[in-house]
Amino acid sequence: MRRRKYYTMLDPLEEKFGAFVTSCIYLSSLFGDILWSASILAALGTSLHIIVGLSVTLAVIVSAAVAVIYTLIGQMISVAYTDIIELIFLTVGLAVVTPYVLTNEDVQKGISDSVSQSGNTTDYIPWLGTIETYKCAFWTDLAIAMVSV
């Protein structure tokens, strides 16, 4: 890529497939990023609304402003440090939740009902529910989105 002096990852695609295909790829990526950013800001705003008690709209605006400011000031290194902090919080959160999950009677009931006393896994009794036929398209679409993103 350096030898050919490409500026973006889309440059080789444009060379191989043309401007139209590259534009479609770019627009789908842009649309996905806009929706992803909106969902992250909504989650941040909702969390801030619950924790601090601000209105949801103001909480979303404050969350967006904080994210933009720390990215502008710290550039991409601040984003990397934020990811490290998130990983630490996730690890601590999982450590805190694990004993609750292991001792919760509903979870234990579901596990013990799923496998018979003989230990035979063919006697499985589902405890997570079922998927109605009319929701199959929704769940298939969701599975594809989760795998491809």
* Assessment of whether the complete model's pTM goes beyond 0.85: no
Residue 60 makes CB contacts below 8 A (sequence gap 6+) with 41, 42, 44, 45
Q: What is the pLDDT of residues 79-136, one digit of tens each?
A: 888 889 999 999 999 999 888 888 877 666 655 554 445 555 555 555 566 778 888 8
CA dihedral (102, 105, 107, 113) positive or negative: positive
Spell out a b/e string for 29-51, using b for 16 or more CB atoms within 10 Å of the CB, else e: eeeeeeeeeeeebeebbeebbee
